[in-house]
Structure 1
Amino acid sequence: MQQRCPDRRQQFLFEKGGGCVLIDNEELRLAPGSLLVLPANCPYQFRLTPDTDGFAFSGSELFLRTRVAQAMFTTPSSFWESYYKPYTYDDLTGEHQREKRKRIFTEVSIAAARFGLGCDAAIMAYILVVVVESTLPKLLQGWQPPTKMDSSDTSLLYQYQILVENHFREHLTIESYCQMLGVTRNKLIEVCKQLSELTPLELVHKRMILEAKRELLSSMKTVNEITFDLGFIDYAYFSRFFKNQTGFSPTHFRSLGNKYTA
């Protein structure tokens, strides 16, 4: 059965065993030393060997996204594109890297067991370290600092993402978002392209598709119900949109997930 965590970013470190995980009908292999990172709202299903062991943590997606945006406004745009995708990080084959990652996760476990919610900020700080360390290394190769970027641009993108999260079902125009943000269309396009490599409209579509996939794989709703829940006027329009974005019709996409769980 497909699972998901609506508001929390999840991280799994596999010390032994492993297997595979199904994400959006794509199967990813998991081996000892693999670090799996799942963004909020990402539907997934594990198939693990009985001897699998390791660490699992989750943190508030809003908290992590805010802290990353505040601390890392000069990161390459590809960082944010990667941040919102599930991925496995398999470069922990070196003994030093494995021990370092294990130490971080062990310290988080000890802090959580000893202090519980009383040290939530400290626990989240550890998790933030893992988020950043596991995402940046590959992305920084050959990167040059952007010539026109500051923290206000990152803040604008973050505010836009919040608005998209709250209104993507309403199919607002980009001009409507610009009015709520108090910026011009050109400014919003510039910031979105610089930081996410996507246009404002593509970011809205990406959020719609994520929700559509989640509903198709993890809910009992009919495709027509999902169509109207996402604000589309009819199934034919929604089906064309979904197929243009994913290469599959909604019904076909759902059937692929059902075959895996059968």
Structure 2
Amino acid sequence: MWTSQDLAFKTSFNPGTSTSTSAGRFAGMDAGLLMRMMDEIDHGMLVIDDQSRLRHANHLARHALATSRFIVCHGQTLMGSSVEFTQQIDHALKHALKGHRQLVALKEPECELTLAFVPLSHALETDTPSVLVLLSRQNACENLAVRMYARTHQLSPSEEQVLISLCKGNTIPEIAESHHVAPSTVRTQVKALRNKTGCHSIRMLMLRVNSLPPMVSALRAIVPMEHNDMALV
């Protein structure tokens, strides 16, 4: 894992601007604290330079790189797991370096990873250009906030499992089969979900769940990476 000692985070805030107070406080933030903040976001986040070299990756991004399903890191360079994916990434990076935000969908038969390329450097700045790459969330039900939401609304364990199943996109018959209960039981649990959360429909409930803060589960897998000694410059 990268540690705060391995990272040297640079900020470019100007204390003389109209936002000098807040910018000054942020500029003085400990690099390790900032990295830990990024690790708590339930989206993978990468920072790359104009040569596709990784400058930083948060916990979920490191996990995505380690699984090598869609993206990989080869010699500190961000690449796709296939030639086609690499070409899509290179094309998006090229446009992001010109100041244009890009959205890329890396697709497999039954799965997809969407990447958002966000320019972090202005075209007139002299610093090394950098781009933020945001990874789509793979499974909303794994968001820690979903379980906290269930606890907050005092859902029973079975109701919580139904909520998680709904987040996975399962239908009532599918939930009933996987939980080994009758569909009428699941419908009763769904009604209880709606009453306890104040949602008038499953659609409203899913909209509310999808708007929850993107919190990562505290139980994280340790993902060893070959390039952990890389510094953020």
Specify the TM-score bucket, using the shorter chain as the normaliser. Answer: under 0.3
Question: Highest relative contact order (Cα 8 Å, sep 6+), 1 or 2?
Answer: 2
Return the structure number with greater helix share: 1
With the length of structure 1 as denominator, give the TM-score of the two structures. Answer: 0.25
